Amino acid sequence: MSLGDVNVKKFGQEGDYLIKVEQKENNKNNIIPKIKQNLSDNLNTEINFRRVENVGPKVSSELLQSGIIAISLSLAAMLFYIWIRFEWQFSIGSIIALFHDVAITLGIFSVLSLEINLSIIAAVLTIVGYSMNDTVVIYDRIRENLNKYNRLNINEIADLSINDTLARTIITSVTTLLALLSIFILGGEILRGFSFAMILGVLIGTYSSIFVASPMLKFFKVTYKTLEKEEEKIVP
């Protein structure tokens, strides 16, 4: 009997394993008893299946669709928050940086032919929040320095603001990476994909908040007058 693609991972306690088998027409009905019998015969021990789940093409498609919707809604919510918190130029710049982080992370998984499941989607959503936090800290300092040093251009303001927040950004990223590396090394196979996605996201999010989000303000020609215009709109 041909099983197609088979994936075996260590799961939980000693002696527990997670087995993933490709479902085909010729093994749809009797695959579980045959796997159990073959394992028992070859290992000379009794095999217990604690749980059996069936994920067909339709369910996989629904999971993919749900993941895309979740990421899209999170990006939209971030855009709405930044639009209220800052000016529209900052909003678009932050969303471009977030989209960059998500695209690069998923792109690496695709290039390496790694499985993208619900835990990876959860990691991507966490990456969105983490990257947004870094971007907001830098944008807030840029906004503050635009009001404080209105004679400097946006290049000088961005450079000054990044230097002001660089130590905080590096310390936060390093401490987060240490925790994620511990999970990646000691957390077992089941958490390896999640932790790997998070490690990628933290690294990508750290540099994108500096090298992607900040330069977008130059592209949109942000000056201290931009802030004055927004304040004039708010004042009745």
Q: Express the helix, strand and coil content of the chain in percent, nearest 5 each.
A: 75, 5, 20
**116 neighbors 102 (Cβ within 8 angstroms):** no
For residues 163 and 149, give the distance between their C-alpha atoms in angstroms, rounded to a whole number: 15
Distance in angstroms (rounded) separating the CA atoms of residues 39 and 223: 69
Cβ count near 51 (within 10 Å): 5
| pLDDT at site 93 | 87
Coil vs helix vs strand at 5: coil
Could you tell me the domains of the chain? Answer: 6-43 (no CATH), 57-234 (1.20.1640.10)
- Three-state DSSP at 98 gives helix
Per-residue pLDDT of the chain (236 residues; tens, 9 = 90+): 555 566 666 666 666 766 666 666 555 556 667 776 776 777 777 777 666 666 555 555 676 777 778 878 877 887 787 777 777 888 888 888 988 998 999 899 989 888 787 788 888 888 888 888 888 899 889 888 888 887 888 888 889 999 999 998 999 999 999 999 999 998 877 788 899 999 999 999 998 988 998 888 888 777 766 665 544 444 44
Q: Which residues does residue 19 pair with via DSSP β-bridges, in sequence order? A: 8
DSSP state of 211: I
CA distances from 116 to 21, 25, 187, 230 (A): 16, 24, 18, 42
Structural contact between residues 202 and 121, judged by C-beta atoms closer than 8 angstroms: no
Instruction: Check residue 176 and give its pLDDT.
Output: 93
Structure confidence at residue 224 (pLDDT)? 63
Determine the pLDDT at residue 52.
63
